[in-house]
Amino acid sequence: MSAGNNWVALNTIWIKECTRFLRIWIQTLVPPAITMSLYFVIFGNLIGNRIGEMGGFTYMEFIVPGLIMMSVITNSYANVSSSFFSAKFQRNVEELLVAPVPTWVIIAGYVGGGVARALLIGIIVTLVSLAFVDVQIHHLGVIVLTLLLTSTLFSTAGLINAVFAKTFDDISVVPTFVLAPLTYLGGVFYSLSLLPEFWQWVSKANPIVYMVNGFRYGFLGVSDVNVGVSIGLLIGFNLVLYAVAYSLLNAGKGIRS
């Protein structure tokens, strides 16, 4: 296919994915806003007043970047895993595989839809947080780069999950038993400096720690880990997962019988 035809195919898949989650916005965009509002009220106002400051900031200011990142991770993953598995279940994805559409275009289209939803959710949650705290911006470039890399990473991970999934229950296993624990232990609600030294090192084996802290640095200018390392790891993970997704789709894993 020519570059023009590839662009048409990519744009078509991306628009389809965006239309899908925008059409049911009450189910895809409203729940994260409500959930994060509850986090702000319970953890920020009620518990935060008792905790006081953390890292030189009020507790509410400290947890806002982590809560935004948590919603981005959850929604980017869920969007692509559910969408691609639905296409696979309904056998619509086979039309893409037999069409002269490069594998990278299919990946970019689905991942692009997940990134679009994640960015929209991130903006919504940020606007909700303004009702509770004055959001600071220390380094806009780090915020945007971390947000894009993280949403791309988990969108690609959601695609890989959907490739291996055989039932709708299979696409909820990773978010429930892997993503949720890693996110809550990823420094969203606390600074790693509060942990004993041994557990600080254990926590640094959690990749979400680097995403949350990189994002927090963009807002507050503080981080428990080196921001350069965070960006480097995100780029590395993205390259690895893209290679995995590409090889799986190219081979028709979980799709061709």
Tell me the domain boundaries of the chain: 3-251
* 221 phi/psi in degrees, rounded to 5: 80, 15
Q: What is the pTM of this model?
A: 0.92
Q: Does pLDDT of 224 surpass 60?
A: yes
Average pLDDT over all residues of the chain: 89
Specify the pLDDT at position 71. Answer: 93
Q: What is the pLDDT of residue 92?
A: 76
Residue type present at position 23: R
pLDDT in tens, 4-39: 788 888 999 999 999 999 999 999 999 988 988 888
The confidence band for 231, taking pLDDT boundaries of 50, 70 and 90, is very high
Check residue 159 and give its pLDDT.
Answer: 95
Planar angle of CA 144, 149, 155, nearest 5 degrees:
125
**How many other CB atoms are there within 10 angstroms of residue 140's CB atom?**
10
Instruction: Mean pLDDT check: name the lowest of 53-57, 101-105, 239-243.
Output: 53-57
Helices (H), the chain: 3-23, 25-28, 30-39, 48-51, 59-89, 93-98, 103-129, 140-164, 173-174, 180-184, 197-203, 207-220, 227-251
d(CA 251, CA 89): 18
Question: Could you report the per-residue pLDDT of 140-196, keeping only the tens digit for each?
Answer: 999 999 999 999 999 999 999 999 988 888 888 888 888 889 998 898 988 898 888
Contacts for 251 with CB less than 8 Å, ≥ 6 apart: none
Quote the pLDDT of residue 65: 93
pLDDT exceeds cutoff 90 at 226? yes
Radius of gyration of the chain, Cα coordinates, nearest whole angstrom: 19
CA–CA distance, 192 with 110 (Å, rounded to integer): 35
Angle at 215 between CA 211 and CA 221, to 5 degrees: 130
pLDDT band at 56 (very low <50, low <70, confident <90, very high): confident
pLDDT (tens digit per residue) in 92-116: 777 777 778 888 999 999 999 999 9
Helix axes 59-89, 140-164, angle to 10 degrees: 30
pLDDT at residue 2 in the model: 74
Nearest 10 degrees: CA dihedral of 191, 33, 25, 15?
-40
| Segment 50-63 mean pLDDT | 82
pLDDT at 257 over 60: no
